[in-house]
Amino acid sequence: MVPASPAPDEDGAAEDDGADRDTDADAGGDDTEQGPSSVEFFSDPTAQIRQWIADNEGDGRRQLLVDRIASQPQGIWFTHDRDVTARVRDVTSAAAAAGEVPVLVSYLLPGRDCGGASSGGVPDMASYDASMADFAAGLGGDPAVIVLEPDSIALADCLSADQRDARFAALNRAAEAIHEANPRAAVYFDGGHSNWHSPADMASRLAAAGVLENGDGIATNIANFRATGSETTYAKQVLAELGEERLRAVVDTSRNGNGPLGDEWCDPAGRRLGQTPTTETGDPVIAAYLWIKPPGEADGCAAEAGAFSPDLAFELAGGN
């Protein structure tokens, strides 16, 4: 379900064999196998932590952040729609040249955080459709993991019934556009986390949003702190409720090394890094553990939402 790393050709670029999504095992066509252990995920050279490291050579926290966080591949978030095609293409072309698989996170929906610390997104659904078409246009033809709109399904309770229907329909269209543009992309819908909605409720929402038609699976624990064991159990329960054997799950383990601090979600103190990104999960239903939320990028309490905080990163890395 997580695509295999593209094989570089003689010029260093990955070959696109044009395989169809329904039959290409790279895109999850093989229902029986775990994501291949050979997957190498892409590390973004422009990530905020790498920029901070380059600008702070004399900082005593720097080496720990290099060793523990900057060395690991992380999700690359797209939070506004300016030049989105070019920005997506920059990532996917660099990943393909390196023979690696990028993890791209679309975070563009209008009202994406129900007025919370990460509020924003494009103005309306027509703008969203256009933005996701532009997003898809930058994907190229090589394997990629797409995490589609964190919180969009689990955090839909703030919407009216009509607004929720419109959002779910837009997510379905977005996933369809991604697969039409790149059949080798794997699209994971927002699956919430184990302390939020029941598996049956979450599965019902996911089905309404089109995961059965146009999804490759679900992503859970995004930007949260729930223990990996709890998340894998929950994700498998959701998938069982959906009843579609080809679907898989990815779990965000970027900040769950110490588990949660009660129900606190906004930069809680004393958290630690979790399992480093890998497809070797030991479970055929769990396609990968990923660092979807980049460690050190704040939720909106330690710093502005999405901003890099070296203090927060240092604590997650075990520095204090």
Distance from C-alpha of 77 to C-alpha of 36, rounded to nearest angstrom? 24
Work out the percent of the chain whose per-residue pLDDT is above 70.
87
Residue, of 297 and 9, whose pLDDT is higher? 297
**Sign of the four-CA dihedral 239, 242, 244, 250:** negative
Produce one character per residue of 175-208: b if its CB has 16 or more CB atoms within 10 Å, e if not.
Answer: bbbbbebbbbbbbbbbbbbbbbbebeebbebbbb
Residue 236 in marked binding region: no
Give percent helix, percent strand, percent coil of the chain, each to the nearest 5. 35, 15, 55
Active-site annotation holds for 24: no
Residue 10 in marked binding region: no
Active-site annotation holds for 162: no
- If you write DSSP's letter for every residue of 76-112 in order, what string do you get? EEE-S-TTHHHHHHHHHHHHHHHT-B-EEEE---TTT
Residue 172 in marked binding region: no
Distance from C-alpha of 284 to C-alpha of 298, rounded to nearest angstrom? 32
Q: Could you report the per-residue pLDDT of 91-103, keeping only the tens digit for each?
A: 999 999 999 999 9
* Catalytic, out of 24, 44, 113, 252: 113
Strand partners, 41: 101
Active-site annotation holds for 9: no
Closest CA to 150 of 182, 213, 212, 104: 104
Q: Which residue has the tokens 């019934």?
A: 161
Q: Which residue has the tokens 């994907």?
A: 139
pLDDT of residue 81: 83
Q: Which domains does the chain have, with CATH numbers?
A: 34-316 (3.20.20.40)
Q: How many other C-beta atoms lie within 10 A of the C-beta of residue 37?
A: 10
Residue 258 in marked binding region: no
Residue 77 in marked binding region: yes
Residue 52 in marked binding region: no
Q: Could you report the per-residue pLDDT of 181-195, keeping only the tens digit for each?
A: 999 999 999 999 999
Work out the percent of the chain whose per-residue pLDDT is above 90.
82
| pLDDT above 50: residue 26 | no
* Catalytic, out of 81, 151, 190, 216: 151
pLDDT of residue 29: 32
φ/ψ of 233, rounded to 5, equals: -60, -50
Residue, of 293 and 29, whose pLDDT is higher? 293
Q: Could you report the per-residue pLDDT of 67-85, keeping only the tens digit for each?
A: 999 999 999 999 988 899 9
Q: Is 188 left (phi over 0), alpha (psi -120 to 50) or beta?
A: beta
Closest CA to 144 of 192, 96, 107: 96
Q: Could you report the per-residue pLDDT of 131-160, keeping only the tens digit for each?
A: 999 999 999 999 999 999 999 999 999 899
Confidence of residue 118 (pLDDT cuts 50, 70, 90): low
Of the chain, the end-to-end C-alpha distance in Å amounts to 37
Section 261-271 average pLDDT: 96
* Catalytic, out of 24, 142, 267, 299: 299
Q: Could you report the per-residue pLDDT of 34-54, keeping only the tens digit for each?
A: 333 469 999 999 999 999 999
Q: In the chain, where does DSSP find H-type helix?
A: 48-55, 62-65, 84-98, 125-137, 161-181, 199-208, 211-214, 228-242, 310-316
φ/ψ of 255, rounded to 5, equals: -140, 20
